[in-house]
Amino acid sequence: MQRYAAAVICLFLSTTTVAPLACAVDKLRVSYASVTGNTAGITYIAQHAGLFEKQGLDVELILITGGPASISALLNADVDLDMRAPVAALQAMAHGVKLIFLLSQSNTLEYDVVTRPEIKDIKQLKGKKVGIIRFGGISELMVRYLFQKLGLDADKDIAIIQVGQARFVAMEKGAIDATVLASAESAYAKRNGFRVLDMPTLPFFGSTIVAAPAVAAKRADVMARYMKGYLDGVRFFLNEPERSRQYLADLLRTKDRDMIDLAYKNHPQHQMGRKPIRT
């Protein structure tokens, strides 16, 4: 009742000649791993479409690269939520850190094996060099997981090479023969002459949203409103493709229409559909 009364007062003040009075909103700081649409896309769209604002939230998106840095930010209460692959959170939890998952933004693996053009089959990668961003990160985990599912032992059958972010350049120069890329990136790689190997759809707990239990308990109402805004973002994403593409273009900082279309069409929400899936 008090919240309803406050909303009425704010509406009244905004329609009178009295100087504007800022209506109270709850601040929520959300960190994310990268600008790839699969990680931050729905939250970014919901933010820019005003869907969190309708829930009384002021959502601030903060880029934090690197899993350990994101966990530190959560534990130090520098951010309230973190969006990225679950690797860093699971590693921290294995060492006794208490974290909770609010949701998984995908339920299948969002990564592909991408190779130089002359490699046409996964068996041809035996004895070859596969590039990752860094050891201990999501790219190494994806290489190990994917190659295991495809019948190769990552420790015996391939050489894992750390090459940093410049994996396209490394493949072009022949420094590596293959890498793993997120779906939107792999589609872009295919357009530029690299080969994306066929693979089965694999179940995976990916692109999670994580919180510290104490923060989630203390701000339970805020978290619930964030989830409502997020689900509104899912509906907006599926029902408003052109406006969603515009927001993804801003997130990706590109005007390349093909890249924007790939980011939209390859987003895992299309496979998951409209209904949230309990995990």
Going 156 to 174 to 181 to 29, the CA torsion angle's sign is positive
118 shares a domain with 79: no
Question: What confidence tier does 8 reach under pLDDT thresholds 50, 70, 90?
Answer: very low
- 104/116 same-domain check: no
Average pLDDT, stretch 7-20?
Answer: 39
Q: Is residue 12 part of a domain?
A: no
Q: Mean pLDDT of all residues in the chain?
A: 85
Look at residue 45 in the predicted model and tell me its pLDDT.
97
Kindly state whether residues 209 and 167 are assigned to the same domain. Answer: no
In a domain? residue 47: yes
For the beta carbon of residue 20, count every other beta carbon within 10 angstroms. 9
Is 3 within a domain? no
Q: Where are the beta strands (DSSP E) in 66-202?
A: 81-84, 100-108, 111-115, 129-132, 159-162, 178-182, 195-196
Cα–Cα distances (Å) from 4 to 14, 15, 56, in that order, read: 15, 17, 12
pLDDT tens digits along 65-76: 888 899 999 999
* Together in a domain, 99 and 227: yes
pLDDT of res. 85: 83
- Asked if the structure places residue 233 within a domain, the reply is yes
Place of tokens 């939209």: 264
Final residue in a domain of this structure, among 172, 200, 228: 200
The amino acid sitting at 155 is: D
Q: How many domains are there within the chain?
A: 2
The reply to whether 129 falls in a domain is yes
pLDDT single digits (tens) 153-195: 999 999 999 998 888 889 989 999 999 887 767 777 888 889 9
- Tell me which of 200, 232, 251 is where a domain ends: 200
Domain holding 169, by residue range, is: 111-200
Residue 277: inside a domain: no
Whether residue 189 is found in the same domain as residue 217: no
Q: Where are the beta strands (DSSP E) in the chain?
A: 26-32, 57-63, 81-84, 100-108, 111-115, 129-132, 159-162, 178-182, 195-196, 203-211
**DSSP-assigned beta bridge partners for residue 129:** 159
pLDDT for 24 beyond 50: yes
Shared-domain flag, residues 34 and 89? yes
Same domain, 35 and 155: no
Of 142, 167, 200, the residue at which a domain comes to its end is 200
Q: Which structure tokens are listed for 34? A: 């990268």
Query: Which CATH number covers residue 158?
Result: 3.40.190.10
